[in-house]
A and B are shown apart, each in its own frame.
Chain A
């Protein structure tokens, strides 16, 4: 039995790393007594599957984790237990991490890292007027291609990242800065917020960044990872992913 949880990471705790959060989850699951399945072998580990890493310092209201439960356990949660699970786990999580959704998914679902096709971001740019930011946004959107060089396995790789920019818009101002909404594709390599910012203007200062949504693509339609058909190996999904 596999469950998928959606959780937030906001406030002071955004300064912890992806690895830190993973270790927090291992402890919290033991604390709430969720009967997690363990891997076999020399050094058994709880079977937790994390989604796309969130950079240290970024906030999110749309993080996901998949947890394999031990089917043979007498403590395997019922449907009612699952409904109560978000509150139960949130109470045990540190301040800033909160579970906001829970669903049962197929045990053989495609991993979050592969299934998620795009993420939406709320990006604060410090010390930049909305008008100036809008000019840079228009330039990026009007470009036919946007080549950047980045490191991959220690080698420089040049990519055209224009296809990754699904949407980009100035949405308002912040105290001394501009708020930009960005929708960025994550497959096959993705475009980081910091890379996007460098494309807009390498001198600009990143303020508060928050992931607001993650999307999977099923039959050409976007779904939140918690909803929609999650029979990941279905033909339709395989087709959608290939397209």
Chain B
């Protein structure tokens, strides 16, 4: 049943009512027949943040193509609408057909940021469903989750009925079939469907496992049911080319982040940056065939009317033949020469700037690079092997081609970090300004500093996160150092929020009480600076009898049971431990795409391989891993042929 007639009178009273109307080009109107498993796919943040999420759209399309599936979408209502919904007893609803959440079979969340967990709980509650799995009856919604955060689902395990690890493309079909069959049989026993789901590869059903504690420490997480496998392996699709989704990307009516066509050019990354969870859990590298990329770009632009396309991946300059794809796109005659290409996640090198220069002929305002650490020593520890020469060559190339503002991303609170490393950030930034002065009167460099949060399934998963006080000290150290450098602007992430992110990133099942407590005290939208409230988290910890240091700051040992030990991202634990030891020894590791395998487990364990069109590393693109064709300024950039037609400004974010 639609709730639209009850919702509409509320819309006059809230900010940005267009968030709640759906009506996008491509909006889903599936047939929720008795034989179909109905999914309500949720992103636990605002519509503007959630709508562009490609994962949600890919899964919705795959489900809706199935005769036994139906999928719609929902997002977190902002506090103003939530208050009105609670006052008028209006339940959570889909934005597609404004169907009440309770009329679906499954409410499944995409989790890309840990601080959205309280929103997840809030949305389950708004859906009219008991927030804890054990309290749910057969007829209640099945609450599921997928996405990068679910590699440690333990802090939210009590709220979830099932969790999908890895790529969802195939798993979502298996779950749809299982739930549709259960529904046709009259949804008898809830435990029965949970057992069925637990038998699907890549699906984890937390209720079928017990987390055993002794003396305040996790001992093991073991199945309590014969249907549950002792270890849950992630799902990996072998060939991205078989999954050209989303085929009809949604075009929103109102402004959202990343408001453009997005085409995923490859999945996975083997650069091996040790702080990067995405790079570890999405291996191996699977490139989309270049021809399919071109088709998806060209048809997508025609269908949507967008004049901007982002070629997305974890490091887009590594895509084999990226220059040709870019030049084909900007010169596509069907698009009238008005198309701009945006390349998020770029490397720090002159080759990258060359590509950026080709697509950003006019309005060269700013470029972003992510060296991540201030000294070569520190960058060896994190395996982000950018030499100073690489950065300076990239910056010189950018300034000489007309860019005026550089943005540099850094992490602080990294393992073995000393004040020398922190102050090294100031040195790098100053040197970049000095290079800029050779080309412009007033070059500016913005340094953006994030607090490092160790993540599961990375070599840094054992590392004790810096305390709030230590992170603040380092930030202020750098701020004081840069106080008189007016050309360098420093921005930083709130260390208090970094602590909370740490709590829920590597916490165990005891964290559910804390998350629920924060939610009960009004702590939603915690990833929004103006809504984050450290006091709520501290009080919740105290009430639960837990301490920040046990979950966040403490270094973990090799023999310690980690909350995610019963889950597998394919990576061998001894590979991660060895990489952690290598980090401490300041030893870098090469990108295995173009060198012999070092058996991290992601390919070998699943019998799959990298899908990479080029047998050699891209020009200048190996970032000091010994695979460089040239160093620093001598990168042999083959510039692309100039294009005709009026110039078009392009925002280029070169985030590595």
Contact = CB atoms under 8 A, between A and B. Distances in A.
Interface of A: 12-13, 15-17, 19-20, 23-24, 26-31, 38, 40, 42-44, 56-57, 92, 94-96, 206
B255 A23 contact: yes
A61 B470 CA distance: 61
Given A15-B21, A38-B338, A42-B649, 17 more contacts: A12-B4, A12-B22, A13-B253, A15-B18, A17-B18, A20-B254, A27-B251, A27-B306, A30-B305, A30-B336, A31-B304, A40-B646, A44-B338, A44-B647, A56-B17, A94-B23, A94-B24
Contacts of B304: 27, 31
A31 B302 CA distance: 6
Contacts, number: 68
Contact of A15 (B17, B255, B306, B648): B17
Interface string B352-369: 000000000011000000
B17 A20 contact: no
Contacts of B22: 12
Contacts of B255: 19-20, 23
A95 B21 CA distance: 12
A43 B362 CA distance: 7
A13 B12 CA distance: 13
B538 to A, nearest CB: 39
A15 B11 contact: yes
B307 interface: yes
A95 B23 contact: yes
A13 B23 contact: yes
A57 B254 contact: no
Given A16-B254, A20-B18, A95-B23, A42 B303 contact: no
B12 A57 contact: yes
A166 to B, nearest CB: 26
Nearest to B648: A44
Contacts of A44: 338, 646-648
A163 to B, nearest CB: 29
Given A27-B251, A27-B306, A31-B302, A16 B21 contact: yes
A38 B12 CA distance: 36
Nearest to B14: A15
A20 B305 contact: no
24 contacts: A12-B21, A15-B17, A15-B20, A15-B21, A16-B21, A16-B253, A16-B254, A17-B254, A19-B255, A20-B18, A23-B255, A24-B253, A30-B305, A30-B336, A31-B304, A31-B305, A40-B646, A44-B338, A44-B646, A92-B305, A94-B24, A94-B25, A96-B23, A206-B12
Interface in B249-279: 251, 253-255
A56 B20 CA distance: 13
B646 A43 contact: no
A92 B18 CA distance: 19
A57 B649 CA distance: 33
A30 B307 contact: yes
A31 B649 contact: no
Given A38-B338, A38-B646, A26 B23 contact: no
Interface string B18-46: 10111111000000000000000000000
Given A13-B21, A13-B23, A43-B363, A94 B303 contact: no
Interface in B508-555: none
B232 to A, nearest CB: 41
B115 to A, nearest CB: 28
A43 B649 contact: yes
Contact of A12 (B23, B25, B303, B305): B23
A17 B254 CA distance: 8
A57 B17 contact: yes
A94 B304 CA distance: 12
A11 to B, nearest CB: 8
Contacts of B11: 15, 57
Interface string B432-451: 00000000000000000000
Nearest to B334: A33
9 nearest interchain CB pairs?
A27-B305, A31-B305, A15-B17, A30-B305, A12-B21, A16-B18, A20-B254, A16-B253, A43-B649
Contacts of A27: 251, 304-306
Contacts of A40: 646
Contacts of A95: 23
Kindly name the residue among B24, B251, B305 whose own CB sees the greatest number of chain A CB atoms within 10 A. B305
A26 B12 CA distance: 26
A178 to B, nearest CB: 17
A47 to B, nearest CB: 13
Interface string B470-514: 000000000000000000000000000000000000000000000
Nearest to B98: A12
A17 B255 CA distance: 10
Nearest to B251: A27
A65 to B, nearest CB: 15
Contacts of B648: 44
A16 B254 CA distance: 7
A88 B647 CA distance: 29
A23 B304 CA distance: 12
Nearest to A23: B255
Interface in B288-332: 302-307
B362 A42 contact: yes
B303 to A, nearest CB: 7
A206 B336 CA distance: 45
B165 to A, nearest CB: 37
A92 B25 CA distance: 9
Contacts of B306: 27, 30
B459 to A, nearest CB: 44
A39 B326 CA distance: 25
A28 B646 contact: no
Nearest to A19: B255
Contacts of A13: 21, 23, 253
A120 B223 CA distance: 69
A41 to B, nearest CB: 9
Nearest to A206: B12
Kindly name the residue among B251, B253, B303, B363 whose own CB sees the greatest number of chain A CB atoms within 10 A. B253
A16 B24 CA distance: 11
Kindly name the residue among B23, B255, B304 whose own CB sees the greatest number of chain A CB atoms within 10 A. B23
Contacts of B649: 42-43
B244 to A, nearest CB: 20
Kindly name the residue among A29, A44, A56 whose own CB sees the greatest number of chain B CB atoms within 10 A. A44
A63 to B, nearest CB: 15
Contacts of B303: 31
A17 B18 CA distance: 8
Interface string B274-287: 00000000000000
A241 B20 CA distance: 42
B75 to A, nearest CB: 15
A28 B23 CA distance: 15
Contacts of A20: 18, 253-255
Nearest to A30: B305
A44 B23 CA distance: 29
Nearest to A11: B23
Contacts of A94: 23-25, 253
Contacts of B254: 16-17, 20
Contacts of B302: 31
A29 B306 CA distance: 10
A143 B20 CA distance: 42
Nearest to B259: A23
Nearest to B646: A44
Contacts of A42: 362-363, 649
Contacts of A30: 305-307, 336, 338
Nearest to B20: A15
Contacts of B305: 26-31, 92
A28 B646 CA distance: 20
A135 B188 CA distance: 62
B330 to A, nearest CB: 14
Contacts of A15: 11, 17-18, 20-21
